[in-house]
A and B are shown apart, each in its own frame.
Chain A
């Protein structure tokens, strides 16, 4: 469905886009003939879907290489960056959300909620330029490109990825904190929490064993949906930090109207989103005894 929508939006003249505005019309026609882009949209689309089903994503117009060769290393790089961002943001987001929920309606809650929402609403590239300015140029403590030197060790790589990851952290923090907050408030109001208090458990134990266990479940689902959105943010981040990931690949493909590459990269983003959602569903049922027990009974 998504691919179909994208295929409908096939860019006009691919040969012209590659050769530039000054090329002769005859060479443009020749290139279009070679690439097969002078055929009708339906035929091209059928060809492409057939190829994808056989594991062949086609060749990139702009880079003259198979799309697969370009996609996989880029996906690996992006995954590294995304993983680092998640490792940082998930604990902080949950902590922030729970801290806000425990003081619902008070100053701490308002500061965390509004601060988180504002951080989320500011585009990644704005965080990126602010981060480069403060940490890269004024303080000079972090590198302003994300691509670590060849054969760099683990910690060097992390150091190079820290600034771009932080930009993603800012944008994701609000979502995760908001979900953790809502979940915690709900389970604080629940009957089982009242029971736990009434049977004389200390507040600390009630929160750890009864409130948190229940409140963090919906948060997992949100984290998974954010994996998809993350790739939207990666386009700008990877461009600014000059990092060879999927985002930068999508940007270049879009700039050069490289239709097979753009389509395949978008497809990969969609697949990543679906896989993340699936993993979240599985995790959710593993962690939630109610669902686990219900399914084993039936």
Chain B
């Protein structure tokens, strides 16, 4: 019966509000400082610019491209045309315009990668917070699962899962999200372990706050930096994995103009000298992952100082 009493006492003598107010102010200053540093980082800006172009392609691509990326019945008449002013990147084996397909192809990979990484980050952050805060048995079990996941390469693990569940965008998102979750959880857990010993967490406990409140309202805002960095790192890996899986035929399915699929359909005719249907999607993948890496580099430099 002592607990309600404590609450009453606390209510009569409310804790001074100033420390939290100051904390908010500090956080705002820190956030502004980070943004200022980011806006000065050349690598971050270059990455953001390229990434922005791809996001634009993904959203408005269909409206701006000169041809239908899925092709039209008469396309077959001008198949495998070399790049020219009417087809900037040439045409593929079915006569479809490679430029239009590369532009619109940004959509599937970006949507799937962002969704998968978001799922993995939300799951992973939640697991990391809970295990880091409570520790104990759940913690041990989780770490063993992470070890098991790390022993098998992501692409092979995802291949097994996709073969069993049947390839589709949703399975791709779920499989990659679930594989990422424990890895992200480990990073978040490490951050939580050092946070939970700090005075503000003890203060919250003394205020008799619920565990979920302490985890999500007190600790979570203080571990956002590693979560943001982890998100951008994983986004790069997600694109790597999705492109590879799609190339192998276990990811996004035809007739989507996905880049991995375009390479899969066209690399066999490289030897015949038809390089354009392969080169341009390959360069698109390269540009996208490099841009994400530049963003990651900029963000981790600013957040991990």
**Which residues of A pack against B, CB within 8 Å?**
1-2, 5-6, 9-12, 110, 113-114, 117-118, 121-126, 129-130, 132-133, 136-137, 144, 225, 228-233, 235-236, 239-240, 250-251, 254-255, 257, 262, 266, 269-270, 273-274
Q: Report how far A240 CA is from B294 CA in the complex, Å.
A: 29
Taking the complex as formed, is B78 at the interface, i.e. its CB lies under 8 A from any CB of chain A?
Answer: no
Interface size class of B (residues with CB under 8 A): 35 or more
Please indicate the chain A residues that have their CB under 8 angstroms from the CB of B293 in the complex: 114, 117-118, 121
Please indicate the chain B residues that have their CB under 8 angstroms from the CB of A123 in the complex: 240, 243-244, 247, 285, 289
Query: Is there contact, CB below 8 Å, between B159 and A235?
Result: yes
Task: Identify the 6 closest CB pairs spanning chains A and B, nearest first.
Answer: A232-B153, A9-B164, A232-B155, A121-B289, A118-B290, A1-B148
Q: Report how far A239 CA is from B155 CA in the complex, Å.
A: 14
The interface-forming segment of B20-28, B97-105, B207-215, B275-283 is B275-283
Taking the complex as formed, is B154 at the interface, i.e. its CB lies under 8 A from any CB of chain A?
Answer: yes
Q: Which residue of A lies closest to B274 (CB)?
A: A137
The interface-forming segment of B120-128, B188-196, B222-230, B265-273 is B265-273
Q: Which residue of A lies closest to B42 (CB)?
A: A110
Query: Is there contact, CB below 8 Å, between B164 and A250?
Result: no
Taking the complex as formed, is B137 at the interface, i.e. its CB lies under 8 A from any CB of chain A?
Answer: no
Distance in angstroms from B273 CB to nearest chain A CB is 7
Main secondary structure of the interface of A (DSSP, over half): helix
Query: Is there contact, CB below 8 Å, between A118 and B151?
Result: no
A selection of 9 A-B contacts at a CB cut-off of 8 Å is A118-B293, A121-B292, A129-B270, A137-B271, A137-B275, A235-B155, A251-B159, A254-B250, A269-B153
Q: Report how far A123 CA is from B161 CA in the complex, Å.
A: 20
Please indicate the chain A residues that have their CB under 8 angstroms from the CB of B154 in the complex: 232
Query: Is there contact, CB below 8 Å, between A235 and B248?
Result: yes
Q: Which residue of B lies closest to A230 (CB)?
A: B153
Taking the complex as formed, is B43 at the interface, i.e. its CB lies under 8 A from any CB of chain A?
Answer: yes
* Further contacts, 13 of them, CB under 8 A, given A121-B292, A232-B155: A5-B148, A9-B163, A12-B164, A110-B43, A114-B43, A118-B290, A122-B290, A123-B289, A130-B282, A136-B271, A236-B247, A240-B267, A250-B159
Taking the complex as formed, is B249 at the interface, i.e. its CB lies under 8 A from any CB of chain A?
Answer: yes
Taking the complex as formed, is B139 at the interface, i.e. its CB lies under 8 A from any CB of chain A?
Answer: no
Taking the complex as formed, is B8 at the interface, i.e. its CB lies under 8 A from any CB of chain A?
Answer: no
Query: Is there contact, CB below 8 Å, between A114 and B244?
Result: no
Please indicate the chain A residues that have their CB under 8 angstroms from the CB of B40 in the complex: none
Please indicate the chain A residues that have their CB under 8 angstroms from the CB of B58 in the complex: none
Please indicate the chain A residues that have their CB under 8 angstroms from the CB of B90 in the complex: none
Query: Is there contact, CB below 8 Å, between A125 and B244?
Result: yes
Please indicate the chain A residues that have their CB under 8 angstroms from the CB of B75 in the complex: none
Q: Report how far A156 CA is from B101 CA in the complex, Å.
A: 39
Taking the complex as formed, is B165 at the interface, i.e. its CB lies under 8 A from any CB of chain A?
Answer: yes
Give how many A-B residue pairs fall within 8 Å (CB-CB).
132
Are A133 and B278 CB-contacts (below 8 A) given A114-B43, A123-B240, A125-B247?
yes
Taking the complex as formed, is B297 at the interface, i.e. its CB lies under 8 A from any CB of chain A?
Answer: yes
Q: Report how far A145 CA is from B248 CA in the complex, Å.
A: 17
Query: Is there contact, CB below 8 Å, between A251 and B248?
Result: yes
Q: Report how far A268 CA is from B244 CA in the complex, Å.
A: 21
**Which residues of B pack against A, CB within 8 Å?**
43, 144-145, 148, 150-157, 159-161, 163-165, 236, 240, 243-244, 247-250, 260, 263, 267, 270-271, 273, 275, 278-279, 282, 285-286, 289-290, 292-294, 297
Query: Is there contact, CB below 8 Å, between A133 and B279?
Result: yes
Query: Is there contact, CB below 8 Å, between A257 and B271?
Result: no
Please indicate the chain B residues that have their CB under 8 angstroms from the CB of A114 in the complex: 43, 293-294, 297
Query: Is there contact, CB below 8 Å, between B159 and A274?
Result: no
Distance in angstroms from B81 CB to nearest chain A CB is 18
Are A129 and B160 CB-contacts (below 8 A) given A1-B148, A117-B293, A254-B250?
no
Please indicate the chain A residues that have their CB under 8 angstroms from the CB of B145 in the complex: 1
Residue with the greatest number of chain A CB neighbours at <10 A, chosen from B248, B279, B292? B248
Q: Which residue of B lies closest to A251 (CB)?
A: B248
Q: Report how far A273 CA is from B267 CA in the complex, Å.
A: 31
Q: Report how far A130 CA is from B57 CA in the complex, Å.
A: 23
Which of A110, A136, A266 is B152 in contact with, Cβ under 8 Å? A266
Distance in angstroms from B163 CB to nearest chain A CB is 5
Please indicate the chain B residues that have their CB under 8 angstroms from the CB of A122 in the complex: 240, 285-286, 289-290
Q: Report how far A281 CA is from B244 CA in the complex, Å.
A: 31
Q: Which residue of B lies closest to A270 (CB)?
A: B151
Query: Is there contact, CB below 8 Å, between A228 and B151?
Result: yes
Please indicate the chain A residues that have their CB under 8 angstroms from the CB of B152 in the complex: 2, 228, 266, 269-270, 273
Q: Which residue of B lies closest to A247 (CB)?
A: B156
Distance in angstroms from A261 CB to nearest chain B CB is 11
Query: Is there contact, CB below 8 Å, between B263 and A262?
Result: no
Please indicate the chain A residues that have their CB under 8 angstroms from the CB of B148 in the complex: 1-2, 5
Distance in angstroms from B252 CB to nearest chain A CB is 14
Q: Report how far A144 CA is from B244 CA in the complex, Å.
A: 19
Residue with the greatest number of chain A CB neighbours at <10 A, chosen from B152, B267, B278, B292? B152
Query: Is there contact, CB below 8 Å, between B236 and A9?
Result: no
Q: Report how far A137 CA is from B266 CA in the complex, Å.
A: 14
Q: Report how far A274 CA is from B270 CA in the complex, Å.
A: 38
Please indicate the chain A residues that have their CB under 8 angstroms from the CB of B156 in the complex: 231-232, 235, 250, 266, 269
Q: Report how far A266 CA is from B151 CA in the complex, Å.
A: 10
